[in-house]
Structure 1
Amino acid sequence: MKKFINHHSGTVVLVLITLLASCRAPEVALKQADKNVPASFKDQTLPDSISVAEINWRTYFEDPGLIGLIDTALQNNQELNIVLQELVVSQNEVLERSGEYLPSVNLGAGIGAEKPGRFTRDGTVEHSLEIEEGREFPEPLGDFQFGAMASWEVDIWRKLRNAKDAAQLRYLAANEGRNFLVSNLIAEIAESYYELMALDNLLQIINNNAGIQEEALRKVIIQKENAKANQLVVNRFEAQLLNTRNLQYAIRQQIVETENRINFLVGRYPTTIQRNAAGFMDLQIDSMQAGIPARMLQNRPDIRQAEYQLQAANMDVLVARADFYPSLDIAAGVGFQAFNPSFLLKPESILFNLAGELTAPLINKKGIRARYNMASATQVQTVYQYEQTVLNAYTDVLNQLTKLENYANSLVTKQQEVDILSESVNIANSLFRYAKADYVEVLLTQEEVLDAKMELVETKLQQLQAKVGIYRALGGGWR
């Protein structure tokens, strides 16, 4: 008996040594992301200031009509609601992962009957035995049972907990993705709203200019009747008027499409967008504080999303590495089983079992190594994606700051150009009336002032969209 025990113990030790020897896992070498960013945007040497991104969008956009559109969009936008359901899915994935490293207990019950053949081993045994003295086994033999069964994979290497943490991080990343969508949605609605107001102003300019050209054509026709002009002059003035009227149709179509785009973002069928286009050119741009780039890393949801995804990828590498190590599974059960329900709750009907299983990969670990290599490659890829997101965000802010500055300067010079050309139209008309200027000069001056006024409105639109762009680029709007 002693020899048997020694032999048995030696076998167990040999098995354990073999398992441990087979568990050589590769060293973890996670690639670290470069989180260094420039100390400031552009040539700023000021200390950190509160970024405009930290201002609530209701305060940043003061137009009641625009605020109402954004409020409705945050409730009805279909894409945003789709993302919210994806968040619910991610949240339940975390819950699922959380249950994997806890013991699982199931309750079960069963009933059955069996009658083996008389001339089989089981049939012979039943025929020769008695339940009690003078009482044979019933035919068929019933089987009634109920009890509890438990199983548990012991999370020795934190494999299951790391998987749960990875799922949790991906849920947080998905939530930041939702915030990024909100930020972009608010910015897109604001940009389209300002575009709609600009189109209204363009249409008004074209209508006013058409009225001026109609008056000029009327005067030219009178001059022709008095032999002071010819048909060529009349045709040129009339062609210019028709060209101006034709611009109205293109602008009206753009207005319809812009309204429909806003209604789509708001999540409703096309309807008229209420706006006050008359005050478009008087909208003021307050001084912008961009803050420091380090604060941008805290504010922009897409950067935060990329950071959570990077942390989740790090966890995935640890999960894949744990597959090289042994896994310990414990199973247990307790219950009652009897061939007759009247015996089911007797102490003699109690049964139980307890078992543990330690397994480790030994031969042909290519699948495990492949999963580990894929997780490592994905982790490196996620690092580059994070760095790319930060670089793109920094560049985006710089572009918007420069755009805001340049279009503010452009607006001043363009206004001066419009004032000069408007004065030139009056001068050209007076000179033409007294035959001191050619009609071509009048036509060209009218075309130039129309183009300049339209460019002035477009410059104002670019300035307002830069205001929206810097707010979005710095991570504003989602709070």
Structure 2
Amino acid sequence: MRGVRLSLALLGVAWLGGCSFIPHYRTPAAPVAADWPKGEAYAGRTRDGTVSGVQGWRDFFLDPALQRLLQIALENNRDLRTAALNLEAYRAQYRIQRSELFPTLDVQATGNRQRIPDSLSTTGKSRISSQYSVTLGTTSWELDFFGRLRSLNEQTLEQYFASEEARRSTQISLVASVANAYLAWQADQALLQLTRDTLQTYEESYRLTERSFNVGVASALDLSQARTAVEDARAKLAQFTRQVAQDRNALTLLLGASLPADLQGSHGLADDLLARVPAGLPSRLLQRRPDVLQAEHQLKAANASIGAARAAFFPNISLTADAGTLSKELSGLFTGGSGTWLYQPQINLPIFTAGRLRASLNYAEIQKDIGVAQYERAIQVAFQEVSDGLAAHHTYRQQLSAQRDLVKANELYYELAERRYRTGVDSYLTLLDAQRQLFSARQKLISDRLDQLISEVDLFKALGGGWAENNEDAVPPS
């Protein structure tokens, strides 16, 4: 049993005294400005500081119907399900890699009986030889003196962490996509209703113009222009009817399930659909975006692979050892004196590999450099997306205010034009122009409101699914 004790001693040395060639990791400096851009587009949005507020989609999306759809999507969306399964696959790979740090113990029982003819027997007589054994041991267990296995284990662990951030990124993107699809559905329904109301107005105007034409007050040109407006509105009605149906189809695909039959959406694009984004968002919020964290974990994995490539230059030490019982008779396996053991260490030192090990190390170092570039790129993209969102947040509110004023001005223009036409002061062309401008202004107001809401959702996504600094996972797992 002395060999077994020696094996256990080597195990302790390998476990406690092993070294690592993984380079010391340092997070690369962020290649962006320390604060958000400043200027007229960012009025009141550039102050840095500590903020609290939205920690996830339930705090940000205030519409109960939208919250219900988001919950359905998180439970049924197939892309999110795929991301979750990929996470489980990486977890299994990590457990496989981690198992190589420990010896694999096997129990083996064998039996052998052989007849040896007299021509081959040392005694000149035929005989039957028997041998039975039961052993417990390990085969070719690598003693990780130079940290190769620990480096690979660290690499796989970081890849698992990266897959978790990829799942979070997919989840946040799904939430934003469902929200944007829902808002587009609501906007198209509002445009459809506006078109129905406008068509009704145009048809009424056409009937009045036709009546005036029949009595010789309106001209054929006035009647033709009124008919043109009606047909244009009918074409718009068909267009928005189609878009509403397609919006439902797109939303159904994102949900991964049918829309609830009793779903009661908001009336139009109300002002209380989303939570307000506060001023003074700190730029360090970028560090919690899942795509940035994913890039950093991938960088750490590449850094760990360098340790494995360096350790490959050093001897590979493996151990085969077992202990058990051996006997010529099956009944004598567990009698006194039948014990047996085997101790077989092996050292493999690379001498000539035609540059393979050096090339492997160079490849690992290049992969780390690529990881640094990808991490810095992720930071830059995140900074650009948040900066765009902050600019849109302020300017869209100004644009919407101006568009509402334009709608009011066009309503007044339409009222005056209709009054003047009915009294014979102005031509029908002026009334038609007023009708079209009012219809166009109201359409643009709905489109601008949709764009403004989508920009808010995109900012929510760009901030990693929220802006509470103490929030580690902005979108809770489904």
> Same fold per TM (> 0.5)?
yes
Deviation at 1:161, TM superposition (A): 1.0
Q: Output aligned runs, 1:40-51, within 5 Å.
A: 40-43=35-38, 46-50=47-51
Deviation at 1:435, TM superposition (A): 2.5
Structure 2 CA distance for aligned equivalents of residues 177 and 113 of structure 1:
59
Which residue among 339, 348, 366 is the counterpart of 1:377? 366
Deviations 1:50-86 (A, max 9, x none): 265x523212111111111111111111111111111
Q: Which has the higher mean CA deviation after the structures are superposed, 287-296 or 227-236?
A: 287-296
- Residue matched to 1:89: 89
Q: Which has the higher mean CA deviation after the structures are superposed, 402-411 or 332-341?
A: 332-341
Letter matched to residue 212 of structure 1: T
Which residue among 437, 440, 449 is the counterpart of 1:451? 440
Q: Output aligned runs, 1:10-409, within 5 Å.
A: 33-35=28-30, 37-43=32-38, 46-50=47-51, 54-119=54-119, 123-125=120-122, 127=124, 138-139=127-128, 141-151=129-139, 152-269=141-258, 274-283=263-272, 286-289=276-279, 291-297=281-287, 299-409=288-398
Structure 2 CA distance for aligned equivalents of residues 168 and 358 of structure 1:
28
Letter matched to residue 90 of structure 1: Y
C-alpha contact (below 8 Å) 1:196/1:259 kept by paired residues: yes
Deviation at 1:377, TM superposition (A): 1.3
* 1:430 is aligned to 2:424: no
SS of corresponding position for 1:280: coil
Letter matched to residue 355 of structure 1: Q
SS of corresponding position for 2:112: strand
Deviation at 1:399, TM superposition (A): 0.6
Structure-2 change in CA distance of 1:87 and 1:266 (3 Å): same
Letter matched to residue 372 of structure 1: L
Deviation at 1:342, TM superposition (A): 2.3
Structure-2 change in CA distance of 1:475 and 1:279 (3 Å): same
Structure 2 CA distance for aligned equivalents of residues 473 and 127 of structure 1:
89
C-alpha contact (below 8 Å) 1:201/1:277 kept by paired residues: no
Deviation at 1:199, TM superposition (A): 1.0
* 1:472 is aligned to 2:472: no
Deviation at 1:111, TM superposition (A): 2.2
Deviations 1:327-375 (A, max 9, x none): 1111111222333212322344332211111111101242222222221
Q: Which has the higher mean CA deviation after the structures are superposed, 65-74 or 258-267?
A: 258-267
C-alpha contact (below 8 Å) 2:322/2:342 kept by paired residues: yes
Structure 1 CA distance for aligned equivalents of residues 236 and 127 of structure 2:
100
C-alpha contact (below 8 Å) 1:332/1:353 kept by paired residues: yes
C-alpha contact (below 8 Å) 1:30/1:376 kept by paired residues: no
Structure 2 CA distance for aligned equivalents of residues 91 and 174 of structure 1:
9
C-alpha contact (below 8 Å) 2:318/2:347 kept by paired residues: yes
C-alpha contact (below 8 Å) 2:312/2:357 kept by paired residues: yes
C-alpha contact (below 8 Å) 2:37/2:387 kept by paired residues: yes
C-alpha contact (below 8 Å) 2:151/2:307 kept by paired residues: yes
Q: Identity of paired residues, percent?
A: 23
Deviations 1:133-191 (A, max 9, x none): xxxx843x333222112132110111111111111111111111111111111111111
Deviations 1:36-62 (A, max 9, x none): 54222123563412265x523212111
Structure-2 change in CA distance of 1:45 and 1:184 (3 Å): closer
Tell me the number of residue pairs that the alignment of Structure 1 and Structure 2 aligns: 441
C-alpha contact (below 8 Å) 2:115/2:127 kept by paired residues: no
Q: Which has the higher mean CA deviation after the structures are superposed, 263-272 or 71-80?
A: 263-272
Structure 2 CA distance for aligned equivalents of residues 356 and 320 of structure 1:
23
TM-score, reference length from structure 1: 0.86
- Residue matched to 1:17: none
SS of corresponding position for 1:294: helix
Letter matched to residue 296 of structure 1: L
SS of corresponding position for 1:115: strand
Structure 2 CA distance for aligned equivalents of residues 478 and 358 of structure 1:
51
Q: Which has the higher mean CA deviation after the structures are superposed, 437-446 or 187-196?
A: 437-446
Letter matched to residue 283 of structure 2: P
Structure 2 CA distance for aligned equivalents of residues 318 and 429 of structure 1:
81
C-alpha contact (below 8 Å) 2:66/2:265 kept by paired residues: no
Structure 2 CA distance for aligned equivalents of residues 116 and 353 of structure 1:
27
SS of corresponding position for 2:267: helix
Q: Which has the larger radius of gyration?
A: 1
C-alpha contact (below 8 Å) 1:179/1:301 kept by paired residues: yes
Structure-2 change in CA distance of 1:296 and 1:28 (3 Å): closer
Q: Which has the higher mean CA deviation after the structures are superposed, 96-105 or 274-283?
A: 274-283
Q: Which has the higher mean CA deviation after the structures are superposed, 244-253 or 271-280?
A: 271-280
Structure-2 change in CA distance of 1:287 and 1:370 (3 Å): closer
Deviation at 1:436, TM superposition (A): 2.0
Letter matched to residue 150 of structure 1: T
Deviations 1:387-423 (A, max 9, x none): 0000000000001111111111110111111111111
C-alpha contact (below 8 Å) 1:317/1:372 kept by paired residues: yes
Unaligned stretches of 5+ in structure 2? 1-20, 39-44, 466-473
C-alpha contact (below 8 Å) 1:180/1:478 kept by paired residues: no
Structure 2 CA distance for aligned equivalents of residues 456 and 115 of structure 1:
99
Structure 2 CA distance for aligned equivalents of residues 243 and 190 of structure 1:
31
Deviation at 1:32, TM superposition (A): 6.7
SS of corresponding position for 1:110: strand
Structure 2 CA distance for aligned equivalents of residues 282 and 276 of structure 1:
14
- The structure where helix makes up a greater share of residues is 1
Unaligned stretches of 5+ in structure 1? 1-25, 129-136
Structure 2 CA distance for aligned equivalents of residues 437 and 276 of structure 1:
43
C-alpha contact (below 8 Å) 2:298/2:371 kept by paired residues: yes
